[in-house]
Amino acid sequence: MTTLTLQQKRLLHLLLNADDPVSASELAEQTNLSPRQVTYRLKPVKSWLTEHDIRLKSVPGVGMTLDCSVDQRQNLLRNLDNQSDFQVVLTAGQRQQLFALVLLSMSEPLILNWLQHTAAVSRTTVLKDLDIIEPWAKEFGLELIRKPNYGIEFRGSESARRQALAALAWGDTPFEDDLLQMAFGTGLTFAFKDNTSLPIIERAIQILNQWDTQTAFEWVAYAEAQLGGRFTDNAALHLALALAIQTQRAKNGFYFNCAPDTLAWLQAQKVWGVAYEVGQLMWPDDARGLVNAEVAAIAMHLLSGLRHHLWLRDLEIDPTLTNLIELLMAEVAMAFSTPGLRHDTPLRDGLVAHIIPSFMRQRFGLWTPPTWPAEQLPPRYKREYYIANELAKIVTKHTGVVLPDDEIATLAALLRAAFIREGTSQPKRVFIICPSGLATSQLLAARLKARFPSLDIRGVLSIRELTLERVASAQLLISTVPVQSPRSTLDVIKVHPLLLPEDIDAITHWLS
């Protein structure tokens, strides 16, 4: 009887579910393989199908299809799904994830031979995998110890171990082929949950079955109800994962350690009572004897989670943050030369909802998922990025917190949204730069006013008159010749004196 690897099983699934002929290139795209790899892996699939009286037909230029009836196809799918004895061929990334999971969860060192045996690989392969795991774990403050006649283990704080476990489960690693996925409705799912053909997979299942992420969603919902707000979806997923890991670790006797001054500060916050109640839900059998440090860990995560919107009394957490937010709002208004932005409530709430959790995460040394990859924002938002970086410098100066790139990208998105809101209600202050004389400048001004009623043309300047002081209130310069903007946040659009269609498109794009 032919056995199939998980990759071959995936290819067979795609073929069985395809309504039309499918090419090797299409299969390769859906499985992250090359067409050549697909062709090689399909050889055992053909043998498996032959054993079930099914022929895999391949027509050059058309694709591959299965020569079978609808009933045969359905029976094959059921047969395929019910099999649990597939030969598992782990990729390097999958092995590294499994090794990291087991090592992070163990309290005693593991010998090299155990890792070899459980993953069915050579000593050299294990050592290469450990070389890749080591620098990743070091980012969390964990040291990978490898000693002859002693074994292999991670050393570091319990907090660091929990952060690494959460990042591993989330997929924030350099390892390829994610095995774990966190989602609403299903909780944490494991790609090999129905296959125990390798001891390393069986051990991973034993560990992951102790993480009750489904129940953890209920704890998150309870915390939101008590705090009077909602976390972002990603923050809620991460919080459920973190609480599930914390519950399992504490039940097994691995306790969090909290510095006395941090514990005292947390106990003085309004979030402490909510954290204690969540702890009672997490450990109902130990409700009276909750470890303060574990309650502190819950409070840290609640304070560090990104909010979907501003929560009541957010700024009461630290009075110095109130002044910081006001300073940032003033900086934004000045950078955009738009005084009204200083009173933009959605922008202010957005800054609070992001900066306070970021401040708390760095204060407590917590890992959380990235908020908004910078590459998702269009590169034309250069002005917003520039201002966001300036805001980040102010945050660092006043708090010592260095905002990561994803948070700066989020600030840029908030600034863009505020600018668009302001643009829909306020005319844009514009200066025309035209060295060609009165007739040309008046013609251009008239065309601009007719085409863009929202432009508030403050005057026409020659190049010699273009100074920072004269255009201090301007939001845009429209020039008939190339000019250098007197400040980095003031855009310049070069146009033809007759205002050509491409000029209209450029100004429309800027206004939008």
Residue located via tokens 């306790």: 255
1 in a domain, yes or no? Answer: no
The CA distance from 34 to 183, in Å, is 29
CATH number at residue 60: 1.10.10.10
Per-residue pLDDT, 284: 87
Q: What pLDDT score does 287 carry?
A: 57
Instruction: Say how far apart CA 348 and CA 149 lie, in whole Å.
Output: 59
Is 346 a member of any domain?
yes
87 lies in a domain? no
What pTM, to 2 d.p., does this model score? Answer: 0.70
Phi, psi of 93 (to 5 degrees): -65, -40
**In a 3-state reduction of DSSP, which class is residue 307?**
strand
Helices (H), 191-291: 199-208, 213-227, 233-251, 260-267, 271-282
Domain shared by 204 and 228, yes or no: no
Number of independent structural domains in the chain? 5
Are 202 and 227 within one domain?
no
Q: What per-residue string of b and e applies to 360-376 under the rule 16 or more CB within 10 Å gives b?
A: bbbbbebbbbebbebee
The 3-state DSSP class for residue 481 equals coil
- Helices 271-282 & 233-251 angle (0-180, nearest 10): 60
Helix runs in 305-344, H state only: 319-335
Cα 195 from Cα 389, distance rounded (Å): 48
Assess whether 284 and 322 both reside in one domain: no
CA angle 369, 371, 376 (to 5 degrees): 125
Same domain, 23 and 102: no
- Final residue before a domain boundary, out of 173, 189, 208: 208
Which CATH number fits the domain that encloses residue 469? Answer: 3.40.50.2300
* Judgement on whether residues 277 and 250 belong to the same structural domain of the protein: yes
Of the three residues 187, 208, 229, the one that is the final residue of a domain is 208
Residues 253 and 169 in one domain: no
Q: Are residues 360 and 333 in the same domain?
A: yes
Tokens representing residue 333 in the block: 């208004």
309 located within any domain: no
Pairing verdict, β 151-155 and 180-183: unpaired
Separation CA 379–CA 374 (nearest Å): 9
Statement to judge: residues 102 and 175 lie in one domain: yes
Q: Which helix (H) or strand (E) holds 355?
A: helix 345-364
In this structure, the chain runs to a length of 512
Burial 426-449 (b: 16+ CB within 10 A, else e): eebbbbbbbbeeeebbeebbebbe
Do residues 294 and 366 share a domain?
no
Q: Residues 14, 16, 18, 20: is their CA dihedral positive or negative?
A: positive
What pLDDT score does 122 carry? 92
Q: In terms of residue numbers, what domain contains 65?
A: 6-82
The per-residue b/e assignment along 467-499, b for 16 or more CB within 10 angstroms, e otherwise, is eeeebeebbbbbbbeeeebbeebbeeeebebeb
Domain containing residue 318: CATH number: 1.10.1790.10
SS (H, E, C) 250-262: HHCCCCCCCCHHH
Task: Output the pLDDT for position 107.
Answer: 87
In a domain, 468, yes or no: yes
Mean pLDDT by 10 residues, the chain (512 residues): 71 86 87 83 85 85 86 80 62 93 94 91 94 96 92 95 96 89 91 81 94 96 90 91 96 92 92 94 77 94 83 65 88 84 84 85 87 57 86 90 84 82 72 79 84 85 87 90 88 88 85 73
Residue 461: beta bridge partners?
A: 433
- Considering 424, 443, 460, which residue would you say is the last residue of a domain? 424
Query: How far is residue 208's CA from residue 190's CA, in Å, rounded to a whole number?
Result: 8
Are residue 286 and residue 388 in the same domain, yes or no?
no
Q: Are residues 35 and 110 in the same domain?
A: no
Question: The dihedral of CA 233, 238, 241, 247: what is its sign?
Answer: negative
- Per-residue model confidence (pLDDT) at position 213: 96
- CA dist 303 and 280 (Å) reads 18
Please tell me the distance from the alpha carbon of residue 371 to that of residue 373, in angstroms, as a whole number.
7
Cα-only R_g, the chain: 30
* CATH number for the domain harbouring residue 237: 1.10.1790
| Same domain flag for 376 and 454 | no
